[in-house]
Amino acid sequence: MPAQKALDQITNPAGKASIWRWIEPWYIAYALLGISAAGIAPILLPLAVNKGSNASSVGLVMAALSLGGLTAPLWGGLADRNRLHRWLLAGGLLAAALGLLFFPFASGLGAWVGLALVQGAGIAAAATVANLFIVENHPKEQWDDRIGWLQTFYGAGQVIGLLLAGYFSQGSLQTGLLVAALLVAIAVLPGWLTTHVSESALSPRPVLLHPAKHGDWSISSPQRLFHHLNRQSIAHLSQAVRSRFGLFLAAWVLSIGGAAAVFSLYPVLMERVFGISPGYSAIGFAISAGLGLAFYSPAGRWAQGFSAMRVFRVGLAMRLVALLSMLALGIAHPGGTRWLGLVCFSIIVLAWSLLSVTGTAITAEISPIGEGEGIGIFNAATAVAGVLGAILGGWAAGVWGYQSVPGLGAVAVLLGLLVSLG
């Protein structure tokens, strides 16, 4: 079964004896991208915007950054048709670097949103072709190991980036964003010099069921940005919406969007509501992200033993309890609120391991339009959820204060849980 295949790719990794055979020099480029795009930017960009504007502006800027995930099918199509893989990688990295470079010197919502869009599109272009460098140059039996190690490099970069963000948040945000831009620019060298693609075109593009070990936003995984969404998928969308798959997508968008409201405002929210400095909140995020990596294999085994949908609902329940606890702590301000708030956020991060694994498996199992097209729609839904969550989170913080954002997230996750029971 497709779901079983997806879960087996997590619970039965192969080739541990000689890991170096699966690693290529260009993985360094994606480690550097992970440091900046998945680590530094999600912490420093909200802080930079918050210094010069309000909560609504923070939400719009972070939504623009996530919006880049929706451009992934465009870049994938260009790569397939015109063999532009290396150009898309180099161009995407340079675009992301320029967006980061000019952001500290910009002022005004329009400029911030424009630069965030450039960053998001650049990150999407670079990340979309990551898997193509593997699947078009290596036999299928090697894909799991090679893609797994690619994501390991990217995930390690994310943790390093969060730690760097914690350091720079205590000093100069401008310096931190310039360092992020420099790292992405440096990534162009290994990306351009050590990558190549075969001359033969793949048609159709392969279905990759690898649940991505990444953070909970659409820009933080090369696998998540490998879209199969195309005209045929969109034409079949009405068929998908009227099925069980449509209900699952509704539950997914609601629950992921609710969490995205918190993630998009995270460093500012933790400082305003719980009194935790951005430095400590970034370090806490880094620790949680690192611990989350250890839960992917157990999540796969639990899904096999208890069904993917049950584990998915457990993940939603974990997030609901954590968000409600953050809301209560933010309102009541009892003793020890500061660190309890960070513990609650860590539970939200850890629950993502369950949701990421089961979400991919459920899609593969119940999509009525095929695995590839279903996963394309699933990935696009993730990007949409990130955009909507960031916008609504910023709006809620602007109207009712930052303490209301976990409440908004809890309502969305609760609705998602109820829909999943239907």
Per-residue pLDDT of the chain (422 residues; tens, 9 = 90+): 555 555 555 445 444 446 778 889 999 999 999 999 999 999 999 999 999 899 999 999 999 998 887 887 788 778 777 888 899 999 999 999 999 999 999 999 999 999 999 999 999 899 888 878 887 888 877 877 787 788 888 888 999 999 999 999 988 899 999 999 999 999 999 999 999 876 655 545 555 555 556 666 556 666 666 555 666 666 666 766 778 889 999 999 999 999 999 999 999 999 999 999 999 999 999 999 888 888 877 888 888 888 899 999 999 999 999 999 999 999 987 766 778 999 999 999 999 989 988 988 898 888 887 766 777 788 888 888 999 999 999 999 999 999 999 999 999 999 999 999 97
pLDDT at residue 15, rounded to an integer: 45
Domain ranges within the chain, ordered by starting residue: 2-10+21-420
pLDDT at residue 227, rounded to an integer: 56
pLDDT in tens, 368-407: 877 667 777 888 888 889 999 999 999 999 999 999 999 9
pLDDT at residue 79, rounded to an integer: 79
SS (H, E, C) the chain: CHHHHHHHHHHCCCCHHHHHHHCCCCHHHHHHHHHHHHHHHHHHHHHHHHHHCCHHHHHHHHHHHHHHHHHHHHHHHHHHHHCCHHHHHHHHHHHHHHHHHHHHHCCCHHHHHHHHHHHHHHHHHHHHCHHHHHHCCCCHHHHHHHHHHHHHHHHHHHHHHHHHHHHHHCCCHHHHHHHHHHHHHHHHHHHHHCCCCCCCCCCCCCCCCCCCCCCCCCCCCCCCCCCCCCHHHHHCHHHHHCCHHHHHHHHHHHHHHHHHHHHHCHHHHHHHHHCCCHHHHHHHHHHHHHHHHCCHHHHHHHHHHHCHHHHHHHHHHHHHHHHHHHHHHHHHCCCCHHHHHHHHHHHHHHHHHHHHHHHHHHHHHHCCCCHHHHHHHHHHHHHHHHHHHHHHHHHHHHHHCHHHHHHHHHHHHHHHHHHHCC
Residue 318, number of CB atoms within 10 A of its CB: 18
Q: How far is the CA of 354 from the CAs of 49, 88, 309, 346, 358, in angstroms?
A: 32, 32, 10, 14, 6
Reported pTM: 0.88
CATH code of the domain occupying 2-10+21-420: 1.20.1250.20
